[in-house]
Chain A
Amino acid sequence: MRLTALASRNLTRRPVRSALTAAGVGIAVGGFVCLSGLTGGVAHAWNGGMVQRGAHLVALRAGSVEILATSLPESMVDELAREPGVRDAAGELVNLAILDSGDTALVSGWAPGSFLWDSLPLVAGRLPRDGEAALAEALAREQHLRPGDSILLEGRLVPVVGTFRAPGALLSSGIVLTLRSMQELWSRPDAVTFLLARLERPGDRAGVSASLERLGKRFPGLRISESARVAEDNRVLEILSALNRATSGVALLMALVVVLNTLLMAVAERTREIGVLCALGWPAHRILASITLEGVLVSLAGGLAGSLLGIAGLHWIATASALRGFVDPAVGVVEVVEATVSAAALGALGALYPAWRAIRLDPVAALRSE
Chain B
Amino acid sequence: MSGPSVSLPLAELIGVSRRFARAGIEALSSVSLAVPKGRRIAIVGPSGSGKSTLLYLLSGLDRPTAGRILFEGREVGNRAEWTAIRARRIGFVFQSFHLLPTLSARENVELPMTDPGLGEREKRRRSDELLEAVGLPDRRNHRPGELSGGECQRVAIARSLANEPDLLLADEPTGNLDRDSSASVISLLDRLHRDRGLTLVVVTHSPEVAAGSDAIVHLVKGTLLDAAGGSGT
Contacts and interface: CB of A to CB of B under 8 A. Distances in A.
B102 A13 contact: yes
A281 interface: yes
Given A1-B123, A364-B62, A282 B102 contact: no
A2 interface: yes
A9 B110 CA distance: 15
A281 B90 contact: yes
Interface in A161-210: none
Contact of A276 (B88, B98, B163): B98
Given A1-B107, A1-B111, A364-B62, A280 B159 contact: yes
B123 A281 contact: no
Interface residues of B, number: 28
A10 B98 contact: no
Given A1-B123, A6-B103, A9-B102, A280 B111 contact: yes
A279 interface: yes
Interface string B159-198: 1001100000000000000000000000000000000000
A282 B87 contact: yes
A6 B62 CA distance: 27
Contacts of A277: 111
Contacts of B62: 363-364
Given A1-B103, A276-B94, A364-B56, 11 more contacts: A1-B111, A273-B100, A276-B100, A278-B61, A279-B61, A280-B112, A281-B86, A281-B112, A281-B114, A282-B83, A283-B83
9 closest cross-chain pairs (CB), A and B = A281-B87, A281-B86, A280-B112, A1-B107, A276-B98, A9-B102, A279-B92, A364-B62, A363-B61
11 contacts: A279-B59, A279-B61, A279-B94, A280-B111, A281-B84, A281-B85, A282-B83, A282-B87, A284-B83, A286-B114, A367-B98
Interface of A: 1-2, 5-6, 9-10, 12-13, 272-273, 276-284, 286, 363-364, 367
